[in-house]
Amino acid sequence: MKYFAFLTFLIFTCYLLGFVKKPEKYQWMDRNYTTAIKGFSILTVVWAHSGAMLSVEGIQFIAGIGVALFLMCSGYGLEISHEKKGLVGFWKKRLLGVCLPFWAVELIGLFATGTFSIKSYLLDFCFLKPATGYGWFMGYIVICYLIFYTVKKLVKDSRTQTLVLFGVFAIWFVLESVFFANPDMPFLRARQTLSFPAGVLLAMNKDKIEQTLTKTKNILILTVGGGTMCFLFMAITQLNVVKSLPYIVSNAMALLTCLPIAIGIMAFGKSFGGLFENKMLAMTGTISYEIYLVHAFTLAMIKQSIISVFIFAVVTYVLAYILHIGMRKEKNDRFNSSYINKK
């Protein structure tokens, strides 16, 4: 426990140092704000996964909250981008920004850990069977992209788009719960079903929602209510009688574990955005996706010692930053090449 306490102290200290030099002031749900939220979300994910490695019990669900926040930001960002540019370059951006880093990290990581095999890598590459315990998210987010793209491509009316989007995700929830649930963690993917479309809905109704959140009372309802609902249903879903129910029933309850508190955190930032105007969160949010990819392999560095925890934190951050710089250079090179060819 003391090693986990050290990691917590390290993260909190870096967070406080982030206020020494504040970034520019944020507007609620602008790019800077959502980047900071992503920074917060990846810290909760890494913090919880590290706790599990250090035998801290009952902490894994915190990672689910971080994933819900990340998915909300993804859905929100895609909808804002669609409103400005439509679907132009949609898959090119996903390929360069999401798939390529994943394929590269998995290849290097599997070789580095001595677990590489052509079969496992190909299944991982095609998002069919993750090679690590945290690779499930990649297949999940790609399906979110597919649903979003298809709905936007085929349905033109915005109100109908919302209904169809949530309808398709509801169908996915049923299929996931009935046919594809992992008996060890049947709720892992299913509990996140509404997180991505909730982000899309937020983007489509941002002005109305922001107006609602001008009242502190509404923010408190969402924040306190979301937190209460989260912990209540987290406790309920751990009951043996609930675990013995069909997955579709227990997973329906699990829908109320992560998303409500994630919505509460988003709303909380409307009045208390200063807590997110933090250089450390901004920098971490910029490389949040790379941190997620890298930490799947660097977690193995954690042992029952302070030095191993410190090395894990430093190595994960540095490797994620190097990956981010490398991928950004690749994007810039491709953009410049495309521009020259057009000229």
- The pLDDT of residue 55 is 87
Give tens-digit pLDDT for 218-230. Answer: 999 999 999 999 9
Q: Which of 220, 169, 190, 170 is nearest to 64 (CA)?
A: 190
Weakly modelled stretches of the chain, pLDDT under 70: 23, 329-343
- The pLDDT of residue 330 is 62
- The pLDDT of residue 335 is 45
- The pLDDT of residue 37 is 95
Q: What is the pTM of this model?
A: 0.92
Tokens of 259: 């998303």
Domain boundaries, the chain: 2-342
- The pLDDT of residue 332 is 57
- The pLDDT of residue 334 is 53
Which 3-state string (H, E, C) describes 232-291? HHHHHCCCHHHHCCCHHHHHHHHHHHHHHHHHHHHHHHHHCHHHCCCHHHHHHHHCHHHH
- The pLDDT of residue 272 is 84
- Cα 326 versus chain centre, distance: 21
- The pLDDT of residue 184 is 85
- The pLDDT of residue 343 is 46
- The pLDDT of residue 331 is 60
Give tens-digit pLDDT for 291-304. Answer: 999 999 999 999 98
